[in-house]
Amino acid sequence: MLPLLRSSLHHSEAIDPTLAEWIRNEIDDLVGLEPSSIVAILGVVILAFPLWLGVAAIRRQRRAASEAAIRSAHEAHQPN
């Protein structure tokens, strides 16, 4: 394997194929599941964070709109 295909894992260059194969073997030994099952499990883990973050951000924006409306109403009722 030529040098630049080995990874330092310091930034984002390609993983060392030896390491990739080892990871695969270890996961196989550890869980003993079909590839499709592992894909499903890892897929859920990967997708969970952005979905949670998106929902949290939307809820925050709704709360902001609500707070702004309350503030506006409060200021409108205050005497000059």
Partner 1 sequence: MTPISEHTESDTTIVSSEPLTPTTGRFYGWYVVGALFFATLMVVGTRQAFGVFVETWEEDWDVSVGAISIAASIGVLLNGLSQPFLGRLVDRIGGRPVVLVSMTVMGIAFIGMAFVTNVWMLTVLYGVVISSAAGGISPSMTGVFVVRWFRRKRGTAMSLLVSGGSIGGLLLVPFLTYLFLATNWQTAWVTAGVISLVLGVPLLWGIVRSDPSDMGLHPDGDSNETVAERAASGETVPVGHLNAERWQDSYRSAPIWQLSIAYWVCGITTASIGVHFVRWAGDEGISPGTAALAFGLLSGINAASVLFIGSISDRMQRKTLLGAVYLIRAVAFIALIVLPGDAALWTFAVVGGGSWLATVPLTTSLTADVYGVRHIGMLGGLTLMTHQFGGALAVFLFGVAFDRWGSYDAPFAFGAVALVAAGALAFSIREKQHSARYSPVERPRGIEPEPAAAGG
Q: Which positions lie near partner 1, rule CB under 8 A?
A: 1-24, 27, 34-36, 38-39, 42-43, 45-47, 49-51, 53-54, 56-57, 60-61, 63-64, 67-68, 71, 75
Cβ proximity to partner 1: between 11 and 77 the closer is 11
For 31, residues 6+ apart whose C-beta sits below 8 A from its C-beta are: 38
Cβ proximity to partner 1: between 32 and 47 the closer is 47
- Alpha-carbon span 6 to 55, nearest angstrom: 38
Amino acid type, 44 = V
Amino acid type, 65 = A
The nearest distance, CB 72 to partner 1, in angstroms, is: 9
